[in-house]
Structure 1
Amino acid sequence: MIKAYAALAPGAELRSFEYNPGELGHDQVEIAVEYCGVCHSDLSMLDNQWGMTAYPFVPGHEVAGRISEVGSHVTAFKVGDRVGLGWNSGYCNQCACCMTGDHNLCSDAEGTIVGRHGGFADHVRAQATSVVKLPDDLPMDVAGPLFCGGVTVFNPILQYNLSPTSRVAVIGIGGLGHLALQFLRAWGCHVTAFTSSPDKHDELLALGAHATLDSRSKDALKAATGSFDLILSTVNVGLEWNRYINCLKPRGRLHFVGALMEPVQVNIFSLMAAQRSISSSPVGSPSTIATMLDFAVRHNIRPQIELFAMKDVNKALAHLRNGSPRYRIVLKHGELEEANADV
Structure 2
Amino acid sequence: MTTAAAYAAPSAKAPLERTTVERRPVGEYDVRIDIKYAGICHSDIHQAHDGWGGSQFPMVPGHEIAGVVAEVGAKVTKYAVGDRVGVGCFVDSCRECEYCLQGLEQYCVEGNTQTYNDRDRNGEPTYGGYSSHIVVDENYVLRIPDGLSLDVAAPLLCAGITTYSPLKHWNAGPGKKVAVIGLGGLGHMAVKIAHALGAEVTVLSQSLRKKDDGLRLGADHYYATSDPKTFEELAGTFDLILSTVSAPLDFGGYLALLKTDGALVNVGAPEEPVSLNLFSLIGGRKTLAGSLIGGIAETQEMLDFCAEHGLGAEIELISADRINEAYERVLASDVRYRFVIDTSTI
Pairing partner for 2:143 from 111, 133, 137: 133
For 1:225, the equivalent position in structure 2 comes to 235
Equivalences for residues 1-343 of structure 1 within 5 A = 1-107=3-109, 108-115=111-118, 116-336=126-346
Flag the 1:19–1:263 CA change in 2: closer, same or farther, 3 A.
closer
Residues 10-55 of structure 1: CA distance to partner in whole angstroms, max 9, x if unpaired?
A: 1112222123323223332111011111111111111111222211
Displacement of 1:266:
2.3
Q: Which is worse superposed, 19-28 or 246-255?
A: 19-28
Displacement of 1:106:
1.0
Residues 91 and 130, structure 1, Cα contact 8 Å, conserved in 2: no
AA paired with 1:111?
Answer: Q
Supply the distance in 1 between the matched residues of 2:280 and 2:332 (Cα, whole angstroms).
36
Supply the distance in 1 between the matched residues of 2:168 and 2:22 (Cα, whole angstroms).
40
Supply the distance in 2 between the matched residues of 1:155 and 1:4 (Cα, whole angstroms).
30
Partner SS state of residue 210, structure 2: helix
Residues 221-244 of structure 1: CA distance to partner in whole angstroms, max 9, x if unpaired?
A: 012111000011001111211111
- Structure 2: 5+ residue runs without aligned partners? 119-125
Displacement of 1:118:
0.8
TM-score (norm 2): 0.93
Residues 5 and 58, structure 1, Cα contact 8 Å, conserved in 2: yes
Residues 172 and 198, structure 2, Cα contact 8 Å, conserved in 1: no
Displacement of 1:264:
3.1
Supply the distance in 2 between the matched residues of 1:223 and 1:178 (Cα, whole angstroms).
23
- What is the CA RMSD across the aligned residues, in angstroms? 1.5
Flag the 1:240–1:20 CA change in 2: closer, same or farther, 3 A.
closer
Supply the distance in 2 between the matched residues of 1:201 and 1:118 (Cα, whole angstroms).
34
% identical equivalent positions: 37
Displacement of 1:305:
0.4
Displacement of 1:132:
0.3
For 2:121, the equivalent position in structure 1 comes to none
For 1:340, the equivalent position in structure 2 comes to none
Partner SS state of residue 185, structure 2: coil
AA paired with 1:114?
Answer: N
Residues 150-192 of structure 1: CA distance to partner in whole angstroms, max 9, x if unpaired?
A: 1101001222233421001111111110111111111111111
Displacement of 1:93:
1.2
Partner SS state of residue 20, structure 1: strand
Supply the distance in 1 between the matched residues of 2:213 and 2:345 (Cα, whole angstroms).
36
Displacement of 1:335:
4.9
Displacement of 1:140:
0.6
Supply the distance in 2 between the matched residues of 1:234 and 1:152 (Cα, whole angstroms).
9
Q: Which is worse superposed, 51-60 or 79-88?
A: 51-60
- Structure 1: 5+ residue runs without aligned partners? 337-343
TM-score (norm 1): 0.94
AA paired with 1:32?
Answer: D
AA paired with 2:89?
Answer: W
Residues 88-119 of structure 1: CA distance to partner in whole angstroms, max 9, x if unpaired?
A: 11121111111111111113310001221111
Displacement of 1:314:
2.6
Supply the distance in 1 between the matched residues of 2:234 and 2:18 (Cα, whole angstroms).
51
Flag the 1:335–1:268 CA change in 2: closer, same or farther, 3 A.
closer
